A and B are shown apart, each in its own frame.
Chain A
Amino acid sequence: MKKRKERIDRGIKVRSEDIFALTSYREMIYLLAPRALPVVGLLLFVPLFSPYWREIFISTAIYALLAISWDVLVSVGLISLGQSFFYGVGSYVAGALNHYWGLPPVLTLPVATIGGAAICTIALLPVLRLRGIYFSMVTLVLPLMILRLVEATRIFGGTEGLTGLSPFPGQLTEMYIANACLLIALFGFRRLLDSDYGLIVRGINDNDRAVMNAGLNIHWYKTQILFLGAAVGCFAGAFGTHHDMFAGMPGFALDYSIMPIAAAIVGGTGTFAGSVLGAFILVPLSEILRALGALRIVFYGLFLVIFVVGIPEGLFHYIRRKYHQFERWVDVE
Chain B
Amino acid sequence: MLLGTLIYGFVNSCLLALLAMGFNLTFGISGVANFSYGAIYIFSGFAAWIFLNSAGLPYALCVIMAIGLSATLGVLIYHVVIKRVKGLALSEVMATFGLGLAIMELFRYFDFVGFKYTLPNLIEGSVAIGDVYIDYQRIAVILAAIALTGFIYVFTHYTRTGLAFRAIAQDERTALTFGMDSDHIAALSMGFGSALAAAAAVVVLPLGTIAVEGGYDVLLNALAVCIVGGLGSTVGILVASVLIGYAQTITANYLEPHWMMLVSLIAIAIVLCIKPSGIFGHQKELEERI
Q: Which of chain A's residues 301-327 have a Cβ closer than 8 Å to chain B?
A: 301-305, 308-309, 312
Closest Cβ of chain A to B265, distance in Å, is 4
Q: Which of A104-112, A140-148, A162-170 contacts B (4 or more CB under 8 A)?
A: A140-148
Q: Cα distance A129–B272 when bound, in Å?
A: 11
Q: Cα distance A131–B241 when bound, in Å?
A: 25
Please encode chain B, from 69 to 104, with 1 for each CB lying within 8 Å of some chain A CB and 0 for all others. Answer: 000000000000100110011110011011111110
Q: Cα distance A53–B78 when bound, in Å?
A: 38
Is residue A199 contacting chain B, with contact meaning CB distance below 8 A? no
Q: Cα distance A209–B289 when bound, in Å?
A: 11
Is residue B200 contacting chain A, with contact meaning CB distance below 8 A? no
Closest Cβ of chain A to B170, distance in Å, is 16
Is residue A262 contacting chain B, with contact meaning CB distance below 8 A? yes
State whether A297 touches B105 (Cβ < 8 A).
yes
Q: Cα distance A218–B288 when bound, in Å?
A: 16
Is residue B108 contacting chain A, with contact meaning CB distance below 8 A? yes
If A148-B262, A148-B265, A261-B90 touch, does A130 touch B276 (CB 8 Å cutoff)? yes
State whether B84 touches A148 (Cβ < 8 A).
no
State whether B258 touches A151 (Cβ < 8 A).
yes
State whether A145 touches B269 (Cβ < 8 A).
yes
User: Closest residue to B262 on the A side, CB-wise?
Assistant: A148
A301 contact set on B, CB distance < 8 A: 98-103, 105
Q: Cα distance A138–B227 when bound, in Å?
A: 10
State whether B261 touches A148 (Cβ < 8 A).
yes
State whether A127 touches B85 (Cβ < 8 A).
no
B89 contact set on A, CB distance < 8 A: 133
Q: Which of chain B's residues 197-248 have a Cβ closer than 8 Å to chain A?
A: 216, 220, 223, 227
Partner of A265, one of B90, B109, B289: B90
Q: Cα distance A309–B96 when bound, in Å?
A: 10
Q: Which of chain A's residues 97-140 have a Cβ closer than 8 Å to chain B?
A: 126-127, 129-134, 137-138, 140
Is residue A37 contacting chain B, with contact meaning CB distance below 8 A? no
Is residue B67 contacting chain A, with contact meaning CB distance below 8 A? no
Is residue B256 contacting chain A, with contact meaning CB distance below 8 A? yes
Closest Cβ of chain B to A217, distance in Å, is 12
Q: Cα distance A212–B290 when bound, in Å?
A: 10
User: Closest residue to B88 on the A side, CB-wise?
Assistant: A312
Please encode chain A, from 232 to 265, with 1 for each CB lying within 8 Å of some chain B CB and 0 for all others. Answer: 0000000000000000000000100010011001
Partner of B109, one of A152, A212, A298: A298
State whether B287 touches A302 (Cβ < 8 A).
no
B288 contact set on A, CB distance < 8 A: 130-131, 134
Closest Cβ of chain A to B69, distance in Å, is 19
Is residue A176 contacting chain B, with contact meaning CB distance below 8 A? no
Is residue A149 contacting chain B, with contact meaning CB distance below 8 A? yes
Closest Cβ of chain B to A307, distance in Å, is 9
Closest Cβ of chain B to A279, distance in Å, is 15
State whether A126 touches B273 (Cβ < 8 A).
yes
If A134-B288, A298-B105, A298-B106 touch, does A309 touch B256 (CB 8 Å cutoff)? no
State whether B269 touches A209 (Cβ < 8 A).
no
B287 contact set on A, CB distance < 8 A: 131-132
Is residue B266 contacting chain A, with contact meaning CB distance below 8 A? yes
If A133-B89, A137-B272 touch, does A145 touch B265 (CB 8 Å cutoff)? yes
Q: Cα distance A132–B91 when bound, in Å?
A: 14
State whether A309 touches B259 (Cβ < 8 A).
no
Is residue B145 contacting chain A, with contact meaning CB distance below 8 A? no
State whether B290 touches A131 (Cβ < 8 A).
yes
B258 contact set on A, CB distance < 8 A: 148, 151-152
Closest Cβ of chain A to B178, distance in Å, is 26
B144 contact set on A, CB distance < 8 A: none
A132 contact set on B, CB distance < 8 A: 287
Is residue B25 contacting chain A, with contact meaning CB distance below 8 A? no
State whether B84 touches A144 (Cβ < 8 A).
no
State whether A305 touches B95 (Cβ < 8 A).
yes
B164 contact set on A, CB distance < 8 A: none
Partner of B220, one of A144, A212, A294: A144
User: Closest residue to A293 on the B side, CB-wise?
Assistant: B109
Closest Cβ of chain B to A325, distance in Å, is 22
Is residue A61 contacting chain B, with contact meaning CB distance below 8 A? no
If A142-B269, A152-B256, A305-B95 touch, does A130 touch B289 (CB 8 Å cutoff)? yes
State whether B94 touches A261 (Cβ < 8 A).
yes
State whether B273 touches A127 (Cβ < 8 A).
yes
Q: Cα distance A39–B104 when bound, in Å?
A: 39
List residues of chain A with CB under 8 Å of any chain B CB.
79, 126-127, 129-134, 137-138, 140-142, 144-145, 148-149, 151-152, 208-209, 212, 218, 254, 258, 261-262, 265, 293-305, 308-309, 312
The 7 closest A-B pairs by CB, nearest first: A301-B102, A304-B98, A301-B101, A134-B276, A152-B258, A297-B105, A145-B265
Can you name 8 A-B residue pairings with CB atoms under 8 Å?
A133-B89, A137-B223, A137-B268, A145-B262, A152-B259, A209-B290, A254-B216, A297-B105
Inter-chain pairs besides A134-B272, A137-B227, A148-B259, 11 sampled, C-beta below 8 Å: A130-B288, A134-B277, A137-B268, A148-B265, A218-B290, A294-B109, A297-B108, A301-B101, A308-B91, A312-B88, A312-B91
